[in-house]
Amino acid sequence: MRDELREILVANVLTVKGEVWEPSAAGPELPKPHLVLREGVQNTGEPYADFTTFYEVWPYVKRTSFRRVDDLSQEVISALHRKRFDVKAVPHYIEYIGTASEDIVDKEWDALTRGLRFQVFSLAWLLHKAVEPDPVDGMKKWTERIFPNLQTNPVAWSPSDDTPALYWRQASLQGTEPTNWGAWITARLRGHIIAPEVAVRKEWTELVTRKLALDAKTYLSDNSKMRFLHVSADSGYDPFQQGQIQLDVRYGILKEKIPYEKINRVEADPAHGGVIIG
């Protein structure tokens, strides 16, 4: 991840002309301006979400005016804030969360600097592998039919207020009920509404929740019905880890067909009162 972030900074913070360094390689002899990229604490978070990681970017400029630090800081924030990027094909999302320090006069390096803090979210749960009939795929298709303006493809996802994203995941299996034809499954799904602005996320959480309550069902890939048993939402939940919408669903799965040996001939056997099967 460190390499991916460095590449983003090199490509977008043109003022530093590629001078982006790790703390072990940085020092007073580096040309100014330059950036120092530090990896901070990593939180394990939820099992399905992998982790969140904190990074700090320290812009260093000559000892002139802190306005130069302000300008360079803004370049860094513009390059990283609310950007989506991939690490080994796993999607990640980064947000600026504030400064890591006050204005600093570094006498040893003869420079001015200030730390900028960023939080990186691993969104590994977006890489869903379906098991048919798949309730997550069913909700994805329901979303595309009811709310065509929402983004549902994690591969093409771009954070946007104009077209927010809604992604579903299966949080747990709540129970099963065997039948002579298969089984009923009750599952709990979570819906993650992702948009840069909190107000937009709240609005879409309300819109989607109301429509779920009214529709009460959708259909899976085998054309079987999936019922919406209970829906609730909390727009204050983290859209990257918890997900704002909780949906309990019930759907059926069929037993696998048992293959039978093919019958080549059937002959009556009157003498023995039966038939010969071969």
pLDDT at 202: 96
pLDDT tens, position by position, 46-70: 554 556 899 999 999 999 999 999 9
- Residue 262: pLDDT band (50, 70, 90) is low
Domain ranges, ordered by start, for the chain = 2-124, 128-254
pLDDT tens, position by position, 128-158: 888 899 999 999 999 999 999 999 988 888 8
Does residue 263 register a pLDDT over 90? no
pLDDT at 271: 63
SS3 (DSSP) at 75 = helix
* Domains 2-124 and 128-254 agree in fold: yes
For residue 262, which of 277, 275, 245 has the smallest C-alpha distance?
A: 277
The CATH number assigned to the domain with range 128-254 reads 3.30.2000.10
For residue 72, which of 20, 28, 27 has the smallest C-alpha distance?
A: 20
pTM reported for the whole predicted model: 0.78
Q: Which CATH number fits domain 2-124: 3.90.1010.10, 2.70.98.40, 3.60.150.10, 3.30.2000.30?
A: 3.30.2000.30
Q: What is the mean pLDDT of residues 112-139?
A: 91
What's the number of CA atoms in the CB half-sphere (13 Å) around residue 212? 26
CB 152 within 8 A of CB 167: yes
Buried b (16+ CB within 10 A) or exposed e, 187-205: bbbbbbbbbeeeebbbebb
